[in-house]
Amino acid sequence: MAPSAPRILIIGAGSRGTAYARAIHQSTSTTGSIVAAVAEPIAFKRQELGAKYIWGPLNRPPKPEEEFTDWRQFLKYEEVRRKRESAGETVEPGVDAVIVCVLDEMHVDVVEGLAPLRLHVLCEKPLATRLEDCVKMYRSLAPKQGRAAAETIFGIAHVLRYSPHNMLLRELLLDRRVVGDVVSVEHTEPVGWWHFSHSYVRGNWRKESKTAPSLLTKSCHDIDFLLWLLCSSPTNSLRPPHLPSFLTSTGSLKFFRRSRKPPAAGDATNCLSCPIEKDCMYSAKKIYLKRHLAKGDTGWPVKIVNPEIEDLYRTSGIEAAADELLRNLAEDYAPDATVEEVESRPWFGRCVWESDNDVVDDQCVTITWEDDPLPASINGDGQSNGDSGHALQGHTAKTATFHMIAFTEAICERRGRIYGTKGEITYDSKTISVHDFASGETKVYHPHLAGGGHGGGDDGLARQFVLAVDAVKSGNMGAEEAQRVFLGCSLEEVVRSHAMVFAAEEARRERKVVDWAEWWEREVKGRLQQTK
C-alpha cells in the first residue's frame, strides 16, 4: 500500500453507501484505506454512517471536512481547499476517491459534476437511468483531447463479478473449459415476492418515468454477468471479445395492477384501512412488522421505511418502534394528490394493486451469439501461431436466456444452468456442480461464502477498487493498467452492458429482434467516439 492510504468519500448514506463504508472499514487492516468523509442530505443518515465509520460515536464531533450535506457542498469545499493548497497554505488532506450511492437518476449529475476534480470514482449500479446519460458520463470520464490514457479509476457496482462463487464459475468456464464450448446458458434472478412489492411496487424503483425499467434497476448486473461470462476471453488472453449478434425480450406487468385487486378489498388504498388486511399476503403490516420488526430485525427493509427505527428500537424498545412503524405505514396520498406529490417519495403502506407502479414484474431476455471466426494467426492467448485460415477459438455460436421474476420464495439467490459440448454446469448462490459427459462423473464445488452482500461481491468490489486506487496513488501502475488488473472492467464494457439492457427494452416494447452490431453503431458508438 501507498505510504498514505486511499481516503474515500461516501456520497449517499443509504443502504448501499453504508454497505461500502462497512466493507472499506472492515478491510482497513489489509488495504489501509480510510472512509474519510460522507455527503448526505438527511442528517440522521449522515451522522449514523459517520459515527460508525469516520469520527466514532463518542470520541469527538465531526470535523468540517468529514461531513457534507450533498456532493455540491463537497465540490465547493474541495475547490477552495485546492486553491488554498496551491497558494502554499497548510491544508487538511483531501480525498482520493468517491463512492456514489445516491438515487439512480442522480448519478449523472454527481459524476459529471465531480469529473473536473479528477478523483477516482466507484458508482453504484445502474450507471444511469437513460442511455444518453450513460454516454454523457462516458464523455466526462474518458481521456480528454491530447491524453492517451485515462488518469483515474472508474468502477461500476456490478458486484456479481466480485463474489468468490462467480469468480470460480468464470474460471471453470473460461480458463479450465470444464464443459468445452458453451452452447447455451439459462440464468434466473428470483427477486422475491415481498421484495418486489417493497422496492418495485411501493418503493423508489416502482415507476419507469421516475427511475428506469426494472430490468435496468434490478438486473443490469445480471446482464453484465452474462456478458462477462460469454463475451470474455480467458484470463490474460488478448483475443477480442465475442460480441452478441442479436437479442430479443418479452415481459410485462402481470400482477401488480388494479385489475388484479381482490374485490373484497373494495376502495381501500392503504393496508391499515383495508377490510382484508389480515388475509392478504402483501399486507404491509405483515411484511414490515410481523415478518421483520417483531423478530428484532430493524435492518432492511424496515430501515428503508424509516431510517430511525433501528435507533428507536434500541433506545425505546419494540413497542415504541412498532408504533412509529405503523404510523409510517398509515401514510397515504389523497385522491387529488398531484403526480409530483405521489412521485416524491415511496408509500410503503399503499395497496399493491392501487399503487402508481408500472415496471415489469416478469421478463425474459434472449441473447444470441453467432460463430465469429478469428484469423488462425490468433491462438488462445492472442499470439501469432503462423498458421493460415481461420479458427473459432471459443467464439462459437451460443445463446443465453435471462429470466427476472418477482414471484419467488428465494430473494436474489440467483441460479442457472450452462450447457456445453463436453458437460453441464448447474449453479445456485452456494454451489457449482459440473457434470462431465465422457466420464459420467459430477463434481460439486463449494466456493467460499464470503460475508457482506451479494455473496461477498460488495466486499470484493470495495477491496478491488481500493487496491486499484492505491496502485495509481503509489505510482506502481497507471490508471488503465490498475483498472484492468484489479477491476477487470473497462469504461466501454460498463457502457456496453448497460446499452444491452436498453436494447433489450427496445426489443420488448416494440416486439422485435434487435441486431446488436447495427444497434450499437447507431445508438452508441458514434456518440462515444465524439470524445476522442
Q: Can you give the pLDDT at residue 228?
A: 96
**Torsion angle, CA of 436/439/440/445, rounded to 10 degrees?**
-50
Q: Can you give the pLDDT at residue 526?
A: 84
CATH class of 161-256+357-452: alpha beta
CA 170 to chain CA centroid, nearest Å: 19
Q: Can you give the pLDDT at residue 437?
A: 98
CB-CB neighbours of 512 under 10 Å: 11
Q: Give residue limits of the domains in the chain.
A: 7-158+457-490, 161-256+357-452, 258-343
Residue 499: phi and psi, rounded to 5, are -60, -35
Q: Can you give the pLDDT at residue 529?
A: 74
CB 211 within 8 A of CB 220: no
Q: Is the pTM of this model over 0.75?
A: yes
The residue type found at 207 is K
Mean pLDDT for each consecutive 10-residue tract of the chain (532 residues)? 81 94 80 87 94 83 94 98 96 96 96 96 96 94 68 94 95 95 97 98 95 96 96 81 96 97 97 97 98 95 94 95 97 93 95 97 98 70 46 86 98 96 96 98 90 79 94 92 92 95 98 97 86 48
CB 487 within 8 A of CB 153: yes
Q: Can you give the pLDDT at residue 1?
A: 52
Strand partners, 100: 11, 123
Q: Can you give the pLDDT at residue 108?
A: 97
Q: Can you give the pLDDT at residue 149?
A: 64
CA–CA gap between residue 532 and residue 521 (Å, rounded): 16
Q: Can you give the pLDDT at residue 29?
A: 60
CATH class of 7-158+457-490: alpha beta
CB 96 within 8 A of CB 120: yes
Q: Can you give the pLDDT at residue 388?
A: 42
Query: What secondary structure letter does DSSP report for 1?
Result: -
